């Protein structure tokens, strides 16, 4: 594999790239990033504008067609246009911009849908398993399926393809590492709920080890063997394998016996200096999903009639690594191990609880997790710009339900005071209080930086991401 291939960073949270920066390619050939803050006070003539002159040269300078050496895919779970705008308004103000999410110079729109298992017809509002399967394998499937098509046939994932081509690989998330989005890179199974041997025996019997199958998601993860795996989900690793070479041992015992550096303490992450196939890193920092950045601020019936609130820190958040630190650590480990140095790396990064907090009608919860994604993207862009051979793509798996409105709705509302000192009302109208808000089927934004970034411009489908990245990681 050529070492002249260019690096790619692909981002699974949908990117709100609305603009163009004023700078052109710098003297050393690095590509430009965008600075899209408003140029003045938003209530003055021209003050709300984000452009500085004609952007044609910047866009021209942003187009680099050579192949990628490394691929980093960012996913903002449930991060539709509305979720980005809610978070931006609150954290940065109406004229502000995200220095990660909004800095990528090329943008497009992406269709996302699953298919009916029996008929193959479109299902316009998909889940994270089906959407993740689309970019990971290039095939549409039914909701709940993980990297198999509607007939149950497994297709190679991007992470598996990267390994076959000699690249270093990583899979990190703020959810349980067995959750749908991280699972689509390391496993193939009929139901996303089959985290460990216990559930798999009854829900996914075709995959159970005792039936000669691939095993649960956790067992398949250990077999797939990414160089770096970080997230939550340690509880499942207390389950015992029912068959095979590791029968009778817990999955944690199996991981350690198979050479994994298995850590659960936050401070242990800083001490890890290497991760490769001889000693891959498996860091599980919470029994389930990892704590989020902001404490709950729930929408309620007639919530717009009450006083506006602000987001406060979640006390347990400091007990785990944040997404930015996991991203920087992963990039460092993958770029410096033997395979990464020789052939490059593939890394998938997910901010998972934008979706989970949107389901809960928790405005501050989703805002904090969008901020986590933005901070992680900023770190990847620093690497990509310095590296000079990196394509960054940031997108989402599906859209969600939150909307910025002007008053109470028949649903639930939450009122927040934004950075501007203005009031913003966020509405959740797809489920009753206490129930789970629904995904939505609107198209998603996708943004990119670096070699091959122009391929996301215009209207693409989620499966296009697979082939775009596949072409990068399998190029010789």
| Per-residue pLDDT reduced to its tens digit, 326-336 | 999 999 999 99
pLDDT tens digits along 107-156:
999 999 999 999 999 999 999 999 999 999 999 999 999 999 999 999 99
pLDDT at 473: 86
pLDDT at 28: 55
Is 190 an annotated catalytic residue? no
User: At 83, is the pLDDT very low, low, confident or very high (cuts 50, 70, 90)?
Assistant: very high
CB neighbours of 286 closer than 8 A, spacing ≥ 6? 232, 233, 234, 320
pLDDT tens digits along 84-108:
999 999 999 999 999 999 999 999 9
pLDDT at 22: 41
Question: Distance of CA 386 to CAs 215, 382, 383, 447, Å?
Answer: 41, 6, 5, 19
Listed by start position, the domains of the chain span: 7-17+58-297+320-401+446-473
Cα 175 to chain center, whole Å?
A: 10
Q: Do 178 and 233 touch, CB atoms closer than 8 A?
A: yes
Of 62, 114, 128, 187, the active-site residue reads 128
Q: Where are the beta strands (DSSP E) in 193-292?
A: 228-232, 261-263, 281-284
Give mean pLDDT, residues 355-375: 98
Helix (H, G, I), strand (E, B) or coil at 81: helix
Q: Do 394 and 14 touch, CB atoms closer than 8 A?
A: yes
Question: Distance of CA 321 to CAs 53, 179, 290, Å?
Answer: 41, 18, 9
Helix (H, G, I), strand (E, B) or coil at 424: strand
- Across 69-83, 240-254, 304-318, 381-395, least confident range: 381-395
Nearest to 390 by CA among 446, 329, 325, 345: 345
> What value does the mean pLDDT of the chain take?
93
pLDDT at 411: 96
Assign domain 7-17+58-297+320-401+446-473 one CATH number from 3.40.190.10, 3.40.47.10, 3.20.20.70, 3.40.720.10. Answer: 3.40.720.10
Give mean pLDDT, residues 471-475: 82
Q: Which residue has the tokens 């956790």?
A: 218
Give mean pLDDT, residues 227-249: 97
Give mean pLDDT, residues 275-279: 98
Judged against a pLDDT cut of 50, whether residue 27 lies above it is answered with no
Nearest to 189 by CA among 165, 170, 169, 206: 206
Phi and psi of 169, rounded to 5°?
-140, 150
User: At 21, is the pLDDT very low, low, confident or very high (cuts 50, 70, 90)?
Assistant: very low
Give mean pLDDT, residues 427-448: 97
Q: Do 72 and 104 touch, CB atoms closer than 8 A?
A: no
pLDDT at 25: 56
CB neighbours of 187 closer than 8 A, spacing ≥ 6? 146, 147, 214, 217, 220, 221, 224
pLDDT tens digits along 264-273:
999 999 999 9
- What does the block give as tokens for 207? 């995959």
Share of residues in the chain with pLDDT > 90 (%): 84
Judged against a pLDDT cut of 80, whether residue 29 lies above it is answered with no
User: At 253, is the pLDDT very low, low, confident or very high (cuts 50, 70, 90)?
Assistant: very high
pLDDT at 13: 39
Judged against a pLDDT cut of 80, whether residue 46 lies above it is answered with yes
User: At 19, is the pLDDT very low, low, confident or very high (cuts 50, 70, 90)?
Assistant: very low
Judged against a pLDDT cut of 60, whether residue 212 lies above it is answered with yes
Judged against a pLDDT cut of 70, whether residue 217 lies above it is answered with yes
Integer Cα distance of 2 and 434 in angstroms = 53
Judged against a pLDDT cut of 50, whether residue 18 lies above it is answered with no
pLDDT at 15: 37
pLDDT at 413: 98
């Amino acid at each position: 594999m050529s070492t002249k291939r260019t690096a790619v960073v692909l981002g699974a949270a949908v990117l709100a790239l609305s603009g163009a920066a004023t700078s052109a390619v710098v003297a050393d050939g690095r590509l430009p990033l965008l600075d899209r803050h408003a140029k003045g006070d938003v209530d003055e003539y021209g003050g709300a504008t984000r452009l500085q002159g004609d952007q044609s040269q910047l866009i021209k300078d942003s187009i680099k067609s050579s192949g990628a050496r490394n691929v980093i895919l960012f996913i903002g779970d449930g991060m539709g246009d509305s979720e980005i705008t809610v978070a931006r308004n609150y954290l940065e103000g109406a004229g502000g911009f995200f220095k990660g999410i909004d800095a990528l110079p090329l943008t497009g729109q992406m269709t996302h849908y699953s298919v009916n298992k029996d008929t193959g017809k479109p299902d316009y509002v998909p889940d994270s398993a089906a959407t993740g399967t689309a970019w990971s394998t290039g095939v549409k499937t039914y909701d709940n399926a993980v990297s198999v098509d509607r007939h149950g046939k497994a297709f190679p994932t991007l992470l598996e393809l990267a390994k076959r081509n000699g690249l270093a690989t990583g899979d990190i998330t703020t959810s349980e590492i067995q959750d749908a989005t991280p699972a689509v890179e390391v496993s193939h199974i009929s139901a996303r709920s089959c985290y460990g041997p216990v559930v798999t025996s009854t829900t996914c019997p075709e995959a159970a080890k005792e039936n000669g199958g691939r095993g649960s998601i956790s067992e398949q993860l250990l077999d797939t063997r990414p160089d770096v795996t970080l997230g939550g989900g340690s509880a499942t690793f207390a389950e015992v394998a029912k068959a095979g070479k590791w029968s009778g041992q817990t999955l944690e015992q199996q991981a350690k016996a198979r050479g994994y550096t298995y850590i659960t303490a936050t401070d242990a992450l800083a001490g890890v200096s290497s991760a490769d196939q001889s000693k891959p890193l498996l860091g599980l920092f919470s029994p389930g999903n990892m704590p989020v950045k902001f404490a709950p601020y729930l929408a309620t019936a007639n919530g717009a009639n009450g006083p506006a609130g602000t987001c406060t820190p979640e006390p347990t958040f400091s007990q785990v690594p944040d997404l930015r630190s996991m991203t920087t650590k992963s990039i460092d480990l993958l770029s410096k191990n033997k395979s990464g140095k020789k052939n490059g790396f593939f890394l998938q990064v997910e901010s998972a609880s934008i979706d989970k907090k949107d389901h809960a009608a928790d405005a501050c919860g989703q805002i904090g997790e969008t901020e986590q994604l933005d901070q992680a993207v900023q770190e990847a862009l620093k690497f990509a710009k310095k590296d000079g051979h990196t394509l960054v793509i940031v997108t989402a798996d599906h859209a969600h339900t939150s909307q910025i409105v002007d008053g109470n709705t028949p649903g639930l509302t939450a009122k927040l005071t934004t950075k501007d000192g203005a009031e913003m009302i966020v509405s959740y109208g797809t489920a009753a209080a206490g129930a789970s808000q629904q995904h939505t089927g609107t198209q998603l934004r996708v943004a990119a930086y670096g070699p091959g970034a122009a391929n996301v411009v215009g209207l693409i489908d989620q499966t296009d991401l697979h082939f775009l990245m596949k072409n990068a990681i399998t190029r010789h």
